[in-house]
């Protein structure tokens, strides 16, 4: 009996629907739903095709329960750039999963291209896409010291975050500070927006320190994720430790174990004594303005051209050149509002004690004040972490020290 043409056409269509897809699907993707596509029965991709708002820690795998995988190519598009996502096929050929280096990122689009064979040896291909969650808020960490800088042996690596961090363990785990030669280094949180790293003892001269920020897509808090993925380095220079004796009005400068100079100083006067303790030079200015109104002293002073100024605390303690005090004050009396003054000239002189010390100093050098009669500087006031014991410092880590 003859088969009607219409019925024959129907059989041809049905035959096409039950065959394994070729490498390049003949039918357009819009002609059928994902689950109805021939390769979908053989090749299973999680997350599903066109999935949206996928979490970065979601399960991502390609499976062929009744066949073997030949090739899995995953392309990530993020921040306008593309890169292949690393993954590995299991020895049995049934499953592909991303490696540790191939974790998903947020605000990204992923294209998955798979080629596999069924148990009969027929090849099939499948293409799927999905997008990951786009966070509304991002956090970044502003760090010190500057990349590629040369610093003193007392340098503390300090990060300030633009948003409060509640998932401190996750953030701390994503930041690594390492050194060559190796040193024992630990982290300490000073509240929700500041994380510092320091070694047990001062860095050895010549040490190269690396700060690796692997914060991209790390959850810092509810709806807040990191955006940085970078590594920076700095080098530790010679050792220079300066000890200010406020009672004797002197500062002894010791470099690499040898006394370089003992300079006459003037420290904080009555009622405004200079902090005791170890402080670290965090900034240097050839000239700067010092206004008492910015640090709680009202209109007591406003000097627009303070020369050779080096910051010791965030609250406003500087070691600087002083041209306005009478010459006899240096080495005999404390007259300042808490800063440490060295004799200088207006405009600054490289041959003055202040000019010499400024040129001899690095950001990261330690200045220790003794016998001032004031309390010890708080460890979070500038880079004051050296005033904590190693046990106290390690206790401030979110990872249990």
Q: Does 17 participate in catalysis according to the annotation?
A: no
Please say if 122 is a catalytic residue: no
Q: What is the rounded CA–CA span in Å between residue 71 and residue 359? A: 62
List 188, 320, 337, 371, catalytic entry? 320
CA dist 263 → 138, 157, 214, 292, 304 (Å): 48, 29, 45, 26, 25
The token duo for 149 is 């800088």
Print burial letters for 369-390: b (CB count within 10 Å at least 16), e (below 16). Answer: beebebeebbbbbbbbbbbbee
Active site residues: 320, 339
């Amino acid at each position: 009996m003859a088969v009607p043409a219409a019925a024959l056409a129907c059989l041809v269509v049905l035959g096409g629907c039950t065959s394994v897809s070729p490498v390049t699907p003949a039918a357009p993707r819009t002609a059928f739903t994902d689950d109805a596509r021939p390769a979908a029965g053989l090749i299973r991709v999680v997350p599903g095709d066109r999935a949206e708002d996928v979490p970065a820690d979601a399960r991502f795998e390609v499976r062929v329960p009744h066949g073997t995988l030949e090739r899995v190519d995953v392309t990530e598009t993020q921040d306008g750039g593309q890169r292949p996502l690393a993954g590995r096929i299991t020895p049995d050929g049934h499953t592909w999963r991303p490696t540790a280096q191939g974790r998903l990122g947020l605000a990204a689009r992923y294209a998955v291209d798979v080629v596999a064979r069924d148990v009969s040896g027929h090849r099939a291909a499948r293409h799927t896409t999905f997008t990951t969650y786009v966070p509304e808020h991002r956090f970044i960490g502003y760090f010190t010291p500057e990349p590629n800088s040369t610093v003193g042996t007392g340098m503390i690596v300090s990060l300030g975050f633009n948003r409060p961090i509640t998932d401190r363990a996750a953030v701390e785990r994503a930041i690594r500070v390492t050194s060559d030669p190796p040193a024992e280094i630990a982290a300490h949180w000073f509240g929700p927006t500041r994380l510092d790293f320091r070694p047990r003892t001062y860095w050895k001269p010549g040490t190269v320190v690396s700060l690796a920020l692997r914060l991209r897509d790390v959850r810092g808090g509810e709806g807040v994720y990191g955006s940085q993925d970078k590594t920076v380095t700095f080098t530790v220079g010679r050792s220079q430790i300066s000890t200010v004796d406020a009672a004797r009005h002197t500062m002894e400068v010791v470099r690499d174990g040898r006394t370089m100079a003992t300079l006459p100083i003037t420290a904080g006067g009555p009622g405004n004594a200079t902090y005791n303790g170890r402080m670290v030079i965090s900034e240097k200015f050839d000239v700067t303005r010092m206004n008492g109104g910015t640090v709680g002293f009202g209109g007591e002073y406003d000097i627009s051209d303070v020369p050779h100024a080096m910051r010791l605390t965030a609250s406003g303690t500087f070691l600087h050149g002083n041209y306005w005090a009478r010459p006899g004050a240096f080495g005999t009396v404390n007259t300042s509002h808490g800063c440490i003054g060295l004799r200088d000239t207006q405009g600054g002189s490289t041959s003055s004690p202040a000019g010499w010390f400024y040129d001899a100093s690095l950001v990261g050098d330690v200045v220790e004040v003794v016998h001032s009669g004031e309390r010890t500087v708080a460890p979070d006031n500038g880079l004051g972490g050296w005033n904590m014991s190693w046990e106290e410092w390690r206790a401030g880590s979110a990872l249990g020290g």
